[in-house]
Amino acid sequence: MKKYNKLYSAFMLTLSALTLAGCNDFLDTMPDNRAQLDSEEKIQSILTSAYIDHEPVLVAELVSDNMDDYGANNPNTNRWFDETFAWKDETEDANESLNSFWESAFVAIASANEALQAIEEMGTATNSLKECKAEALLCRAYNHFMLGCMFCKPYTATASNDLGLPYIEHPETELNPQYERGTLAELYSKIDRDIQEALPLIGDSHYKVPKYHFNTKAAYAFACRFYLYYEKWEEAIKYANLCLGSQPKTMLRDWKGMANMTQQADAITNEYVNANSNANLLMLTGYSTLGIVFGPYRNYSRYSHGQYLAMNEDMRATNIWGGALSFYMTPKVYTGTNMDKTIFWKMPYMFEYTDPVAGIGYNHTVYPAFTTDECLLNRAEAYILLKQYDEAAADLTTWMQNITKSTKTLTPANIAQFYDAQEYSYSDTEGLQSTLKKHLNPAFQIEEEGSTQENMLQCMLGFRRIETMHAGLRWFDVKRYGIEIPRRVMNASGTPQYKSDFLSKDDKRRALQIPLKVREAGFEANPR
């Protein structure tokens, strides 16, 4: 594997005092000097910077099949949005760019490594320090995992032949360190090792606000998602069980209660990210326009989840439970000149003023990195891949009856009957028309189209697409299941006009390109 001189300036930031301006007010105060981590309190403080503050969610939404192009006549865009939506290698920077995410993730990893080294040097294994060690290991694992999800291929049985990323395990002390990029198999093996070392130590006693740290249930939800992507289905089920407990219904989001609240975007989005909600397991904050892009605003609306997508593929389509009115919280539709949005109110729009007089500052948001609802659907997927269809149908029923008013009980038979009757998307001559299901092309083996397994996967993927709408996770399903995407330009009526590009199941652009500054520093680029 090719060696490179440096990942980027992020590692060198750990050699001096690092103060990140912005949304640290959402967490705890960072230490002014990392060179003296000689107490539990200081270690706990540095761990607040082991979480990213530049999220990859918006990129993941833009490159997925959750967005369409509403045309060159729509002025509500910029060059960064244009490049990202078109799967182009990034040349523009932004708070939510791949470059910002890369640097933020490696700064977070560096913080976790500083904490781990300090814990080892302190020697005394108090309960609090054990929990801090678990948190640091999980932060290191999670940040490497998210980097891999964005910049690498999905894990497969041939991952030993695919490019990985370096797994940084120690604080950086050299001016010009050299690393090998390694393989994807090596990356996942080290993530696995850190998770397994962390889980026996995890606990919640040292947190002031547990939901903003890797608490016990968040750790299990992470393990569930990781082992699902690692193709270890039994392990995914094991950790989902530990996360959800014996009564998962009581752990899910209270959609019915939210429907009884004042129906205003600010109130609902703030409730969606409420740390007291059983559904929210790990909350992250960041410099972000998510609350604008997926809120009732015209900004950046050229690329949007519009009515056509909603009516034919997901939240407003006639589904196995009925129509859109079945949702406790019905999708919100915004239309007008240069605006076609159908969204759920999820991520709040927050603004931090750096100069109140001039009215300038930073966009922020809060979002759940893990939820019980996603964990439940991840368990359903693992059951389906193990052909435990009754157990999967029970989980799918639990999710459906919680988010909708449907009292229907799903079974392998009625799921197969419903989805087998649906046409596949893009079956028309032009390859543009949407339906509820898409051809699946995973690297792992599944049964043929029309089988019980394939129909149940269609159901699960559709449910999870709705559950994780605006959260970025659909892109990972697109990658793992080889779902192909036509880039559609919509006409004035909001329906597909023509295809501007196409992402095939083997398209190399599925592994997003390493940031330009990092490549210029000598890092090996992803093939194109």
Q: How far apart are CA 321 and CA 382, in angstroms?
A: 22
Q: How far apart are CA 192 and CA 230, in angstroms?
A: 9
Looking at 301-411, list the stretches that DSSP marks H as alpha helix, in order from N- to C-terminal side.
307-312, 372-385, 389-403
Q: Show Cβ contacts of residue 136 under 8 Å, excluding neighbours closer than 6 positions.
A: 47, 50, 112, 113, 115, 116, 119
Whether residue 29 has pLDDT greater than 50? no
In a domain, 356, yes or no: yes
Whether residue 90 has pLDDT greater than 90? yes
Tell me the whole-structure pTM to 2 decimals: 0.94
Listing DSSP states for 199-225 in one string gives: GGG--STT-SSGGGS--HHHHHHHHHH
Q: How far apart are CA 162 and CA 289, in angstroms?
A: 33
Partner residues linked to 355 by β-bridges? 360
Q: Show Cβ contacts of residue 331 under 8 Å, excluding neighbours closer than 6 positions.
A: 310, 315, 316, 324, 342, 343, 344
In a domain, 525, yes or no: no
Summary count for the chain: helices (H), strands (E) = 18, 11
In a domain, 527, yes or no: no
* Owner of token pair 């969204």: 343
Over residues 320-328, mean pLDDT: 95
Over residues 267-275, mean pLDDT: 98
In a domain, 528, yes or no: no
Whether residue 24 has pLDDT greater than 60? no
pLDDT of residue 14: 38
Q: Show Cβ contacts of residue 96 under 8 Å, excluding neighbours closer than 6 positions.
A: 54, 55, 56, 57, 58, 59, 287, 288, 289
CATH code of the domain covering residue 404: 1.25.40.390
Domains held by the chain: number: 1
Please count the other Cβ atoms lying within 10 Å of the Cβ belonging to residue 177: 16
- Position 123 confidence tier, pLDDT thresholds 50, 70, 90: confident
pLDDT of residue 177: 76
In a domain, 140, yes or no: yes
Say which residue, 393 or 1, is predicted with more confidence.
393
**Do 457 and 419 touch, CB atoms closer than 8 A?**
no
The widest CA-to-CA distance across the chain, in whole angstroms, is: 68
List pLDDT tens digits, range 147-188.
999 999 999 999 999 999 999 999 987 767 777 899 999 999
pLDDT of residue 179: 79
List pLDDT tens digits, range 34-62.
458 889 999 999 999 999 999 999 999 99
pLDDT of residue 7: 58
- Position 288 confidence tier, pLDDT thresholds 50, 70, 90: very high
* Chain centroid offset of residue 409 CA: 29
In a domain, 256, yes or no: yes
Mean pLDDT is lowest, of 334-338, 357-361, 405-409, 510-514, for 357-361
pLDDT of residue 30: 38
- By the 10 Å C-beta count (0-12 exposed, 13-18 middle, 19+ buried), 224 is classed as buried
Whether residue 421 has pLDDT greater than 90? yes
**Do 437 and 428 touch, CB atoms closer than 8 A?**
no
In a domain, 103, yes or no: yes
491, amino acid identity: N
- Residues 292, 295, 299, 301, Cα dihedral to 10°: 130
Average confidence score pLDDT of the chain: 93
Whether residue 16 has pLDDT greater than 60? no
Cα dihedral sign, 147-148-153-154: negative
Task: Residue 148: name the closest of 225, 69, 58, 250 by CA.
Answer: 225
Residue 336 gets the label, from left (phi > 0), alpha (psi -120 to 50) or beta, of left
List pLDDT tens digits, range 203-226.
998 888 999 999 999 999 999 999
CA–CA distance from 344 to each of 76, 200, 362, 385, 473 (Å)? 20, 37, 23, 29, 15
List pLDDT tens digits, range 497-527.
999 999 999 999 999 999 999 999 999 999 9
Q: How far apart are CA 30 and CA 49, in angstroms?
A: 7
pLDDT of residue 20: 35
**Do 110 and 139 touch, CB atoms closer than 8 A?**
no
Over residues 358-380, mean pLDDT: 97
pLDDT of residue 124: 76
pLDDT of residue 8: 47
In the chain, pLDDT over 90 holds for what percent of residues?
Answer: 89
Over residues 293-303, mean pLDDT: 97
In a domain, 39, yes or no: yes
Cα dihedral sign, 314-319-325-326: negative
| Domain that residue 95 falls in | 3-520
Whether residue 87 has pLDDT greater than 60? yes
